[in-house]
């Protein structure tokens, strides 16, 4: 099962749009691109295997596997009002400004429901990320 994240990098953040089978699912927020600087940069473009994951802190979310030079990269919601993107790809229902958005939990729920609706038994999940750079 393949998902695609097309993102644009700005100086202060990266904005993206997440798709499955050509259908827009949600926006995404990430740190800016600072050549894979752990804790300060979004992850590099590429294709990553994902797995569904559960933790008491974030409940149901997604974990990206085998990210070069990184570990613990999650697709999880931001709590409302939080701007700490850490090593996170944060789904958002709406973008409200550079590096800001609303409806993170609702956007993640849309992604998780899509996985449940279309995933075949034991089918692997993949996320392909491609980027463009803004002049800002």
Per-position pLDDT tens, the chain of length 136: 999 999 999 999 999 999 999 999 999 999 999 998 988 999 999 999 999 999 998 899 999 999 999 988 999 998 765 566 777 999 999 999 999 999 999 999 999 999 999 999 889 999 999 998 765 5
Domains plus CATH for the chain?
A: 2-133 (2.40.440)
In the 8-state DSSP scheme, what is residue 42? P
Start-end of H helices in the chain: 104-118
Q: How far apart are CA 115 and CA 129, in angstroms?
A: 18
pTM for the whole thing? 0.92
């Amino acid at each position: 099962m393949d998902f695609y994240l097309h993102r644009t990098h700005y100086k202060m953040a990266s904005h993206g749009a997440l798709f499955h089978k050509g259908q827009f699912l949600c926006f995404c927020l990430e740190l800016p691109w600072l050549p894979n600087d752990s804790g300060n940069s979004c992850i590099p473009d590429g294709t990553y295997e994902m797995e569904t994951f559960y933790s008491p802190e974030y409940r149901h979310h997604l974990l990206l596997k085998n990210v070069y030079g990184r570990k613990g990269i999650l697709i999880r919601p931001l709590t409302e009002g939080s701007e700490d993107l850490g090593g996170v790809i944060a789904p958002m229902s709406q973008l409200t400004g550079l590096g800001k958005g609303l409806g993170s939990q609702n956007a993640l729920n849309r992604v998780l429901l899509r996985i449940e609706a279309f995933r075949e038994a034991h089918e692997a999940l993949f996320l392909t990320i491609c980027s463009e750079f803004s002049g800002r």
